[in-house]
Amino acid sequence: MAEIRNIKSGKSGGEPPREAMPRRLAAIVAGDIAGYSRLMQIDEEGTHVRVKRLERELIEPSIVEHHGKLVKTTGDGFLAIFDSPVEAVRCGIVIQQNMIGRNASLPKHHWIEYRIGVNLGDVIIEADDIYGDGVNIATRLEGIADPGQVYISGGIYEQIKHKLVCGYESLGDRKVKNITDPVRVYRVLPDAMAFSRIRKRRESVLMILLSFTVLVIAGGVLWYLLQPHDQAARQVLAPASPPAESPVPSPSASYAAKQDVPLTSSPVPSTVPAPIPQPAAPQSQPAPSTPPPVPAAVREPEMVPVRGGIFTMGSNDDISEKPVRRVTVKSFDIGKYPITVREWNECAAAKVCAFVAAGADDAPVTNVSWSDAKTFVTWLATATGKPYRLPSEAEWEYAARGGTQSKYWWGDQFKPGMANCKNCADVASAEQPGRVGSFKPNPFDLFDMGGSVDQWVEDCWHKNYQGAPSDGSPWLGGECSSHVIRSGSWKNDATYVRPASRDSYDTNVRYPTHGFRVALSP
């Protein structure tokens, strides 16, 4: 009975009781540099310095910004823990997309590329490390990930699939080392449209291969049917002897005749006259007086003048929108619509903007980072000689309110059909926003100042308005690793359509719902 009591109380034979190890359910992010040994061989000291700088300037700040904790670094990798699977995956995306920009100016063999794995699991927590299958699976996912990619487990996928505007490509169940059960694996595609493009491309390749296979089989069957199938038949069909005046053609000549290909190794018969060289056609030269072509003028966005004034900025609906305060705004012009695909692609055609946007010409451009938006307005200002810029946060809200102080510019109650947002109207699309100007304008004759696309403004992100300027100027300062976005998008619900609603995102990271509109100083 004594031994039974010892077992029940956790004691055995006088040994001290084992303390229960703290455990918790967490999202684990494991990262590792692909080809680290090769990079060290190329430039040992330089690679070491670059990796330490990345940890200091990118890895650690990104983890903290997404409410995670860096557990440890491993020379060429890192391990982090998060309460939120959404923030864990978002952190991984931010790191990978920032690395694209950092590698852009380097030769490919000097690129530092992370592989990142994310898993949700029950882990053992110690002061300076974490343990358990949850950690092991994250590291195994990182090990099979392609350089520059984020791989997640099925547990993470189930938690985030309706919360992040991303694409996800299922890679099926994978058997990973030291884990009994197969792990369902997904590749994260930051561009929500990427998966459909990959699927279409794979389907096209599959159809080409299938067609080629069918042609090969059909050709083989036809060849077989046309061949004599016994020696006797071949003797009947073969001529008794070749004509005396005709030499027996060599096998290569016979093949060339069948294929209608000349034998380049045989000399040209003397009876065949050599081709007479033709004089080269004269190349047309432009007349000396012809002026060089003049590039077409840049298409400027349609702008609306907004008279300055004083308004009440913010609301009590969200802590980030407090404190409510009075702000004075000077007169300015602002785009009647968000920048469209057509307008963006003029910048791309000038080799200034980084990518060619897809979609209808009159749809708002999407998947734009704050840095991309700044590149566009700088190009537009240079091309036109006018001081185009991003609006300040105060200017954007002042324009969005249209002279009103209600919850929405049309009143305090939401009305269906007034904005392109999630479940707000029949025309809302799950894949892309509608064309600009599809809904009613506000009292300032501005379209899509709520819904359609999230819109970047000039201001750095601050978690509330404590200390914000009251003169309508942008609130800058600090590291500005995140900037303010306004309006909400077609993927967000009506809460985000309010003129006072505000959010933030990473400065250098593109996101499928982010666009912008421009402002112009008088």
pLDDT of 206 reads 62
Q: Are strands 519-520 and 388-389 parallel, antiparallel or unpaired?
A: antiparallel
pLDDT of 446 reads 97
Burial of residue 251 (CB within 10 Å: 0-12, 13-18, 19+) is: exposed
pLDDT of 295 reads 44
Ramachandran category for residue 499: left, alpha or beta (phi over 0 → left; psi -120 to 50 → alpha): alpha
Q: Are strands 514-516 and 114-125 parallel, antiparallel or unpaired?
A: unpaired
pLDDT of 217 reads 82
The SS3 of residue 130 is strand
Peptide bond connecting 443 to the previous residue in cis, omega within 30 degrees of 0: no
For residue 159, the one-letter residue type is Q
Bridge partners (DSSP) listed for residue 123: 24
For residue 263, the one-letter residue type is L
pLDDT of 318 reads 92
Q: Which three-class secondary structure string do you get for 289-306?
A: CCCCCCCCCCCCCCEEEE
Please check whether residue 447 is in contact with residue 304, taking contact to mean a CB–CB distance below 8 angstroms. Answer: no
d(CA 482, CA 467): 18
pLDDT of 149 reads 95
Q: What is the C-alpha R_g of the chain?
A: 33
pLDDT of 212 reads 72
Axis crossing angle, helix 370-384 with helix 341-349, rounded to the nearest 10: 70
Q: Give, in order, the Cα–Cα distances in Å from 248 to each of 145, 233, 255.
A: 62, 21, 13
Phi, psi angles (nearest 5°) of residue 146? -75, 150
pLDDT of 203 reads 55
pLDDT of 238 reads 47
Return the exposure string of 271-285: e unless at least 16 CB atoms fall within 10 Å of the residue's CB, then b.
eeeeeeeeeeeeeee
pLDDT of 205 reads 59
Q: Are strands 167-174 and 388-389 parallel, antiparallel or unpaired?
A: unpaired
The whole-number mean pLDDT for each consecutive block of 10 residues of the chain, a chain of 522 residues, reads 43 55 91 93 91 93 93 92 94 91 85 96 90 93 94 94 81 85 90 50 63 75 66 45 45 41 40 43 41 59 96 95 96 97 96 91 94 95 95 98 95 91 67 88 96 96 94 88 93 92 88 93 86
Phi, psi angles (nearest 5°) of residue 110? -105, 0
Please check whether residue 348 is in contact with residue 376, taking contact to mean a CB–CB distance below 8 angstroms. Answer: no
Phi, psi angles (nearest 5°) of residue 306? -120, 120
Please check whether residue 32 is in contact with residue 96, taking contact to mean a CB–CB distance below 8 angstroms. Answer: no
pLDDT of 486 reads 97
Structure tokens at 116: 């990142």
Report all structural domains of the chain as residue ranges with CATH numbers, in order of start.
21-196 (3.30.70.1230), 303-520 (3.90.1580.10)
Phi, psi angles (nearest 5°) of residue 102? -70, -30
d(CA 26, CA 63): 14
Burial of residue 374 (CB within 10 Å: 0-12, 13-18, 19+) is: middle
Structure tokens at 274: 């050599």
pLDDT of 448 reads 96
Share of the chain above pLDDT 70, in %: 77
Burial of residue 330 (CB within 10 Å: 0-12, 13-18, 19+) is: middle
pTM (predicted TM-score): 0.57
Q: Sheet of 454-460: strands edge to edge?
A: 503-506, 482-486, 454-460, 514-516
The SS3 of residue 388 is strand
d(CA 271, CA 180): 80
Please check whether residue 139 is in contact with residue 30, taking contact to mean a CB–CB distance below 8 angstroms. Answer: yes
Structure tokens at 292: 């060089």
Phi, psi angles (nearest 5°) of residue 448? 60, 35
The SS3 of residue 131 is strand
Q: Give, in order, the Cα–Cα distances in Å from 343 to each of 24, 321, 336, 423, 485.
A: 50, 32, 13, 28, 20
Structure tokens at 397: 């809200």
